[in-house]
Structure 1
Amino acid sequence: MLRQSSAIVCILICGSLSALANPLVDEIRFGDTQSEESHGLKVDSGEIIDGALGTSARQLLPPQKEHWRGGRMTFRMQVDPDKPNYFTVKFWGSDTTGEHSRLMLFLEGKQIGQRHLGEVDSLDISEDRARFLGRFFYKTLPLPEHMTRGQTSLELAIEAQGPVWGYGYNFEKFQQPMTKPSRGIYRAYLHTDPYLEPGTDETQGDPVIDFPIRREPGEEVLQEVQDRVNHTIDKMLKSANAEPIEGVRFLAYACFVPWSKAYRNKAALNKIVRSIDDYAQKFEEKPEIVEEEWFGAGPIADAVRLLAKPVQIYLDHKIEGTETVRRQAWAKLFAHSRDWHVKNRRSYTNQTMIVDLGIYRCNRALAVVDPSSAWPEDRAIRILHEAVGIEPWSGSLDERGRSSWRLGRRFMQLTEKGLTKELGYVGSYGEIVAGIVQAMYESSRPTPTADGDPKLKAQLVKMARARTVFRYPAADDDGYQSMRVETIVGWRDWHYPGPIAYGPMPTDDGDPLDVAIATGDPYLIGCCQQMIEDNQYFVALQQLNQRRGFNVLTSLSRAPGNYERITNYPQQPGRLPMSRGRPDFVYADPEIGVLAVKHGDDILYASLYWRARYAINFLARVHQLSPAIERDATVNIGTMFTDSGLFYKVPDQTNEPFNKRYEKSYKDAGMHLGMAGQLQPIARVPSIFQDYKPGDENIHAGMGEFYVMYYGPYCVAMNCSQSRTFTLDLPAPFRGSKNLVDHEIEQGPKRQVKPGETVVLYRER
C-alpha cells in the first residue's frame, strides 16, 4: 500500500495559512542588550563584535587551552506547541574564519543534527572563503517535533567546535582543535514556516547581479606550467630511483607532448620500463600491493597502453638482475590486478568508476604484453559501460565468474539524465567527468590519436552537460565573477560554497578544457569560452599548478595544447544555464530527487530525496539564491511511499549516521542526539535484497515515490514513480500560480502529477 506521513497534512495546512498568519514566533538580536536579556542569554567564551552594515553580532571564541570545543551561548526562545518549528540564524556572507570549524545547535541539551553528513546539517560549516559576498545568508534547521510539541518555550544553545576532516584516521585527525573565532552570529529566529522572510526593518546588503571580471593572471601561467612539467621530467630522468606508478603514467603521457623533455626521448622510455620492472618485482614479493588501492596497477597499465609499440622491444628480455622474462612478469601483474578487482567492485558511482577504470586499463595492457590472457574488447568495455550507466551494473564476479547483480538486474549507476547515484545528488563527488570518465574515454582509444569508444564519448557529453546545471553565479575568492559548483544540496558535500567550475570541474585528474577538446561538443566548448571570458581559466590552472602529485602533472601537460585548440574554435552560443540573463528553466531528475530552478535572478536548488540512507525522513535540503539574500534550509516535506511495515530507530549518533567511529569520544563529552529513539518508516525494499534488515543503507529504504514541498513562493511536486500518478492538492494561495515547467496557469484545487513528472508552481507576492 501507499503511505503518506502525518507531516504532509501539516505541511499543506501550514503552506496554505502562511500567507495569512505571521509564522515568526520569536527572535533574538545578538549584541542587543535588551533582546539578549529578555531571552536570558548566557555566554561562555564569546564577545560582541561590530558587525556588517553597522549592526552588532556575537562571536564565539576558541578555548584558552587546545581543545575542539569552543565558546557556547544559551538562551530561551518561544516555540509553537502545535506546529513544526524551525530555527534560523543570520550570518554575514563575507565572513570567513580561516578554518573548517562548526557551529552546533542544541535544544534542551540535545544536539540538533549531526556533525558530519547527517540528514540535518551543522548550524554552520565555515570556510576560508566568503560564502555570499557582501550580503547576508540564512541557515535554517528543523527542530524535532517530539521535543517542541506541547511546549511554549525551550532552551537553545549554540556551541562553536573545531574543524572536522572527514578522512581522519583517528579522533585527533578527524576532530581537530578550534583555533580561531567563529563566524559572526547576528540574529536567531524561531518560526513555523520553513521559509524565513526577514523583516523590513532589517539591514541587508546591496543586491548584486554581476561581479567585476578578473584581469590577471594571464597566459604567462602556461609557461609556468611548462616549466614545472619539464623541471619534474629533468629530475625524474636524472634520478636512479624507480618512479611511483602515477609517475610512470605521467612520464608516458609526456612522451607525446611536443614541448616536453620526454618527447621521443629514449631515456624517458627506459625509465618507464625500469620503473614497471621495479613494481612487478615488488608485486612478486607482495601480491596484495595491487589490492591496497582501488585503481590497482591501472596507472602503469595505462602507460603500457600508450607506449604499446615502443615497449615491444623490451618485453622478451629479462628484468635486470633476475631470470624472469619481462613479458611474463608484467602479464602476471596486470592479470592479477584485473582479476582481483573485478571480484571486488564497489557500488558507489565514483568508486566503481575508479575500480573499473583500473580493471579496463589492466586488460588493455595485457592485450599488449600477453594477448592470450586479455579479455575480448567487447567484454572489457562492458565494465566501463556499466560504470557510467550505459548498461546495468552487474556487480562483482564470484569465484566461478558469475556476476552478483547485488543491486538488482536493472540498477544503473547513472540516471537517465546523466547524474550519478551516490545515493542522491552529490556536488564535488559527482564531478568525475574531467577526471575518471574522461580517462575512460582516453583509455578506450586504440592508439593515442584515434577516436575512443563512441558510446563512452556520448555518455561523457551527456554527463558533462548535466553537471552544468549545477553551476551558479558567485564571487570567486578574490571577489571576481565566477561560477560555483552547487554543493549545499549534495549528499556527500561539506564544503560551502562549492569550488569554481564552468564545464567539468578542474581536478588533479583533469584540466577544465579536457572534455570539450576530447568530444568537440559545441555546448561544452561554449562553456569553456565563458570560463575564458571571465578570465577564470588561468587562475584555475595556476591553482592546479600549486598542487602536488603526478596526477596533476599529467593534467597540466595537456593544458597548453588544450588552450591553443579552444582559442582556435569559433565562438559558440552555449553558456551555463544559471548565468545572469539566460532564459528561465526547470531541471528535475526524479531518479535521485534533485531539482534546479532559474526564475529571473532567483535560483533554487533542492534535494527532495535528502540523506535518507535508512528510512523515509520527510526532509529536503533547499538552497535559494537571490541578488540580496541566500537561504540554506533543511525543511519538512510531504512524502508518499510504499510501506514495508518496518521502522528504523534513529540511533544516538551525534557524529555520522553511517559510522560509529569516534562516537564514544563525543559521548564522553556529553553529546546526545535530539532525534535519538525516534522511529522512521521504511519504504518497501525489492526482494533482490534478501538479506536486508532495518539499519542497512539502501537507496530504496529511504526514497519516496511522491514528494511535495512548500518553500516560500514555491510549491514543488515531484513524482519519482515509473508507473503511478499522484494527486497534488493545491492550497488556495497557489491556485492561479504559474507552473514554471510548462508556463501554464494552475487553477486548482487538484493537479494530477504523472509518472516522472515534476511541477513547480511560483506564487507572485
Structure 2
Amino acid sequence: MKSILTMLGIAAALLAAWSARAAIYDAIQFGEPGSEKSHGLESDDSEVIRGGLDEPARILLPRAPASWQGGSVKFKLRVNPNRQNYVTLKLWGGDVNENLLILHADGRQVGYRSRGDIGLLDYGSPEPAVPGRFYYVTLPLPMSATYRRERVEFEIVSTGRIWEPGRTFEQYQKKMLTPSRGLYRFYVHDHSYFKPPAEDRQGARPEPVLPPQQPESFEALKERVNRELDRLLGPDGRFTNQMQLLMAAEAAGLEWSRACRNPEAVRRIVAGLDNCYLRWREDPSLASDDRSAVYPAWTGFGPAAEAVRLLHKDLGPYLDEELRGPDGQPVRRRKAWADMLEAGVRHLAASRSRHPKQSMIVDLNLYRNNRGLRLLDPSKGLPPEVVLGCLYESVGLEPWSGPLDGKGKPVLKSGGSDRLFTAKRLPKEFGYDGNDGELPALAAAIYQATRPEPGKPGDERILGVLREMIRARSFFRYPALNLAHNPVMRLETVIGWRDMQFPGDVTYVQRPESGASVLQAAAAVLEPYSTGIVQQMFGERQFFPSLDRQMEDREFRTTFGLLHVPEHYRLLTAQPASSSRLPMSEGQPDFVFSDEESGVLAVKYGSEILYASLYWRAPHAVNFLARIHHVTPVLERLATVRQEVEFQPSGRIFVRPGWTNSGVGAGGLNYPDNVRSIHAGETLPIARLPKTAGTGQENPLAGRGDFYKLLYGPYLFAMNASSREFTFTTPKNIVYKRLPDGGEIAGGTVLKVAPMSTVVLRRAR
C-alpha cells in the first residue's frame, strides 16, 4: 500500500504544480483565541505573546527542570484527501533563537533533525534572518498521511539545539534553556508555491544603515600575534604542535613581527622540530594521527615540512649537528628530520581522499611534506611532478587517481575516471554545499604552497582554478541586513545539502573562518573581479567588523589566521578601482547561473532572487524533491517541494528506514522519546548506478536524475543533467519569458533542452 501511495503522492504533486489555481485548505492563527479554539488547540508549556508587527503569536517554553524537550502545541486542520498537501509556518524574521521546532502529524515526526531531504520547521538562527519582515517555511506531507483523510492532528514540539559533532546524546542534544521563537500562523495548502492571503501583514525591509567607519588600524592584531610569538620564543617557550612551528616560520618573514631577523626564533624553531621528531620516534602513529592538529589524519608532517622550507637557508648551520634520539644514540638532524618527513609522505600518499575538501587538505600537506623532505634529502620522497599532479587533481584540473604507493603510482585500478569538481568549479558531492563547499581559502593556500619562495608567482594552472572558484561561489551571496540593519552579503545556505544554519555568514570573496584572512584568496589572485568584490566589502564597511569578530575568538588557530591580514589589506587597498560587484547585489544585471553537475540554480530577476537545488539530498534514491530559497522585497520563502524527475531506473528500490534524527549514515543517535517517523516504509526508486553500490548505500548517483522539471510560482525550471537532449511542453494558456534575455514563449510550446543545460522561464502574463 505504501508504494502505491508514494506514486499517488508524486502524481498528485505534479497535478497540483501544473494546475492554474491553488488552495489554502485551512490555517490556524496562534495566539488568537477564536482560531485556536476552532482548531482544538491544546498547549503544553506555551505562552501567548505580541510579536512582530504586534501580531499575536505563541512561544514554546523550556521545562522545569530544564530538559532537551520544551513545550508543544497540538491542533487539527483540514487537508485535501486526494492531492499533495503542503504545510507552511509563518515566522518573524527579526527573531534570534537557537531552539528547534519539529512537526508531528498524527503523532509521527515529519522530516529529520539533521541532513534529511525533508527538514524541520526551524533549526534556530544565530542572527535575524529577515529583519523587519516575516518569512515562510514550507514542507511536503507524505500522501500516505492525508490520503482519504479530511483532517490531520498536527503538533509542533520544541527542543534545544543540536551539536552535530557530539558523540553521546548529551553532547549532541543540548537542553532547551530559553523560549522558542514565536509561532504565528500555520497553513495547509495544495501548491508548492505558498502565496500568503491578502490579509496577512508582511512588514517592510528597514532602511539600510552603514556602520560607522572604523580606523584602519592593525595595532591590536599585531600585538596579539607578537604576544603569541613571545610566549613561544621566550625563555620558557615550547612548541607543542606543528601549526605553532609554521606560524613562527611565516612570522619570520614579516617585518613587524618579533620573529623577523631573530636568531633566537630560528633556534627555538629548530628545538621545536627536534621535539616533533622525538615525539614521532616515541609514537610512530603521530605521522597518521596527530591529535594536536586540526585534521589529525590528513596532516602528516605538512606544517613542520613547510616550516623547514620557509627557513631552509637559516636552518643550514643546524642540519649537520647531532641530536640524541630516544634510544640514546646520536643522529644527524638532517637525517632525523628527513626520516620523520618521509613517514608523513608515505601516510599521506596512501590516504588520498575522493571528497573534495579532504582531498585538498591531504594533498596540500602531501605537497608540503614532500618538498620539505626533498630539501633535506633529494634522494627521498616522491618526484615533484607527482605531488604537483596530486594538487591538480585535488582542485579538479585532472581526474582523481586515488591513493599512491611508495613510488607514486596509483593503487586503485578504477582511479582516474572522474574529477572532484564540476566544470563550473563547484565541489562534486551530494549537490550544492554552502559552508563546507566554501573552498577558495583552501585553494589559495594550495596556490601559495606552489610559490618557489614568498612573493614569487606560483603555479599558473592552480591560480586559474582559484579565479574560477571565486567566480562560481560569487553567485551564492545575496544582499541582506544584519542585526544593526547594516547592508551585508550573506552566504546561501538554505539549499546547501550539508547546511542547517539560516541565515548564512556574512561573506564576500570567501567565508570567514578561523584559520584564514577573509582577504586571502583575493590577495592571491589579485585581479579585477575579486578586487571589486573586496572593494564592495570595504564600501559596505564590513571588513573591520569581520576582523573584530575574528579578534573575539582567542583560539591559537585564529591568531595564526590573522598573521597576514595587514599585508593583504595593504596589497588590496592599493589596487585600482574595479566596477565588479557580487552578481546578486542590488543594481546588477539579471542572470541565470546553473551547474547541472551539482543540480543547482541561482536566478536574479530584478529585485527577486531565487536559489534552487533540484538534486536535493538524495544519497539513497530518487526522491522527487527540490529545495528552494526565494527572496523578494516583501518576504522570503524556504521550501521543500515536489518536482518531476526523469532518470534511468535500476529496477531496485530504497525503503526509508524509521530514522527521525539524521537522514544519512545509520540515522545518527537514537532519541529516548521513541517518536516514529512518518516517512518510514516509503519506497523510492534507485537510479542506475555501478554494481558495486548496493541498495541503500549512499552514492551520489543513486538519486541523481537526468532531467528535472519544476514549476514554482511564476517560475518554470527545466534542467538537463545528462548527455542526451530532452524536450518539454509549456503549460497551455500561459505566456512565459525566457530568462535572462526575456524572449517570449507561448503556451503549449515544445522546448528543447540541450545536454548539460538549463531553461528558466518566468510567467509573463
Query: TM-score, with normalisation over the residues of structure 1?
Result: 0.95
Q: Distance in 1 between matches of 2:47 and 2:633?
A: 31
Number of matched residues?
748
Unaligned runs of 5+ in 2: 1-5, 290-295
Q: Distance in 2 between matches of 1:324 and 1:488?
A: 56
Q: Distance in 2 between matches of 1:431 and 1:636?
A: 28
1:557 alignment partner, SS class? coil
The corresponding residue for 1:363 is 370
1:306 counterpart letter in structure 2: L
Corresponding residue to 1:501 among 507, 515, 530: 507
2:651 alignment partner, SS class? strand
Q: Distance in 1 between matches of 2:242 and 2:763?
A: 57
Q: Distance in 2 between matches of 1:150 and 1:5?
A: 15
2:138 counterpart letter in structure 1: T
1:743 counterpart letter in structure 2: G
The corresponding residue for 2:117 is 119
> How big is the shift at 1:401?
6.0
CA deviation vs aligned residue, 1:58-89 (integer Å, no higher than 9, x gap): 10011111211111111111111111111100
Taking a change above 3 Å as real, the CA distance of residues 172 and 111 of structure 1, as seen in their structure-2 partners, is same
> How big is the shift at 1:296?
2.1
| Contact persistence 1:318–1:324 (CA under 8 A) | yes
| Contact persistence 2:345–2:381 (CA under 8 A) | no
The corresponding residue for 1:695 is 696
1:716 alignment partner, SS class? strand
The corresponding residue for 1:641 is 647
Corresponding residue to 1:586 among 586, 592, 596: 592
**Map of 1:542-691 to 2, 5 A cutoff?**
542-660=548-666, 663-664=669-670, 666=671, 668-686=672-690, 690-691=691-692
> How big is the shift at 1:697?
1.0
The corresponding residue for 1:739 is 738
Q: Which deviates more from structure 2 when the two are superposed, residues 62-71 or residues 321-330?
A: 321-330
1:615 counterpart letter in structure 2: A
The corresponding residue for 1:432 is 439
The corresponding residue for 2:424 is 417
Corresponding residue to 1:296 among 272, 297, 300: 300
Q: Distance in 2 between matches of 1:449 and 1:6?
A: 63
1:363 counterpart letter in structure 2: N
Taking a change above 3 Å as real, the CA distance of residues 38 and 184 of structure 1, as seen in their structure-2 partners, is same
**Map of 1:20-419 to 2, 5 A cutoff?**
21-97=21-97, 100-207=98-205, 211-220=208-217, 222-238=218-234, 239-292=236-289, 293=296, 294-319=298-323, 323-397=330-404, 402-405=409-412, 409-419=416-426
Q: Distance in 2 between matches of 1:744 and 1:404?
A: 52
2:339 counterpart letter in structure 1: K
Q: Distance in 2 between matches of 1:338 and 1:547?
A: 33
| Contact persistence 1:77–1:155 (CA under 8 A) | yes
Q: Distance in 1 between matches of 2:54 and 2:305?
A: 61
Taking a change above 3 Å as real, the CA distance of residues 5 and 575 of structure 1, as seen in their structure-2 partners, is farther
> How big is the shift at 1:11?
4.1
> How big is the shift at 1:662?
5.2
> How big is the shift at 1:528?
0.3
Q: Distance in 1 between matches of 2:73 and 2:186?
A: 12
1:345 alignment partner, SS class? coil
1:347 alignment partner, SS class? coil
Q: Which deviates more from structure 2 when the two are superposed, residues 318-327 or residues 129-138?
A: 318-327
Q: Distance in 1 between matches of 2:36 and 2:167?
A: 41
> How big is the shift at 1:683?
0.5
> How big is the shift at 1:14?
1.8
| Contact persistence 1:5–1:639 (CA under 8 A) | no
Q: Distance in 1 between matches of 2:410 and 2:753?
A: 38
2:751 alignment partner, SS class? strand
> How big is the shift at 1:728?
1.5
Q: Which deviates more from structure 2 when the two are superposed, residues 611-620 or residues 293-302?
A: 293-302
Q: Distance in 2 between matches of 1:661 and 1:718?
A: 31
| Contact persistence 1:16–1:732 (CA under 8 A) | no
1:356 counterpart letter in structure 2: D
1:383 alignment partner, SS class? helix
| Contact persistence 1:7–1:637 (CA under 8 A) | no
> How big is the shift at 1:12?
4.1
Q: Distance in 2 between matches of 1:595 and 1:498?
A: 17
> How big is the shift at 1:136?
0.4
Q: Distance in 2 between matches of 1:407 and 1:37?
A: 64
Q: Distance in 2 between matches of 1:94 and 1:724?
A: 46
1:663 alignment partner, SS class? coil
Q: Which deviates more from structure 2 when the two are superposed, residues 262-271 or residues 240-249?
A: 240-249
| Contact persistence 1:250–1:553 (CA under 8 A) | no
Alignment partner of 1:462 is 2:468: yes
1:372 alignment partner, SS class? coil
> How big is the shift at 1:9?
4.9
The corresponding residue for 2:18 is 16
1:277 alignment partner, SS class? helix
> How big is the shift at 1:692?
1.4
> How big is the shift at 1:405?
4.8
Q: Distance in 2 between matches of 1:410 and 1:627?
A: 45
> How big is the shift at 1:550?
3.4
Taking a change above 3 Å as real, the CA distance of residues 416 and 546 of structure 1, as seen in their structure-2 partners, is same
CA deviation vs aligned residue, 1:500-544 (integer Å, no higher than 9, x gap): 111112222221212222111110000000000001001111111
> How big is the shift at 1:224?
1.3
> How big is the shift at 1:555?
2.5
> How big is the shift at 1:661?
6.4
CA deviation vs aligned residue, 1:461-480 (integer Å, no higher than 9, x gap): 11011111100001124321
Q: Distance in 2 between matches of 1:406 and 1:608?
A: 33
1:230 counterpart letter in structure 2: N
Q: Which deviates more from structure 2 when the two are superposed, residues 167-176 or residues 236-245?
A: 236-245
1:117 alignment partner, SS class? coil
> How big is the shift at 1:626?
0.8
1:724 counterpart letter in structure 2: R
Q: Distance in 2 between matches of 1:407 and 1:621?
A: 33
| Contact persistence 1:654–1:663 (CA under 8 A) | no
> How big is the shift at 1:562?
1.2
2:666 alignment partner, SS class? coil
Identity of aligned residues (%): 39
Q: Distance in 1 between matches of 2:245 and 2:163?
A: 30
CA deviation vs aligned residue, 1:638-665 (integer Å, no higher than 9, x gap): 111010001111111111122336533x
Q: Distance in 2 between matches of 1:189 and 1:388?
A: 45
Q: Distance in 1 between matches of 2:632 and 2:147?
A: 33
> How big is the shift at 1:319?
2.5
> How big is the shift at 1:304?
1.4
Unaligned runs of 5+ in 1: none
| Contact persistence 2:352–2:403 (CA under 8 A) | yes
> How big is the shift at 1:741?
3.8
Q: Distance in 2 between matches of 1:300 and 1:605?
A: 42
Q: Distance in 1 between matches of 2:105 and 2:609?
A: 32
Q: Distance in 2 between matches of 1:578 and 1:177?
A: 38
The corresponding residue for 2:292 is none
Q: Distance in 2 between matches of 1:6 and 1:727?
A: 24
Q: Distance in 1 between matches of 2:406 and 2:104?
A: 51
1:584 counterpart letter in structure 2: D
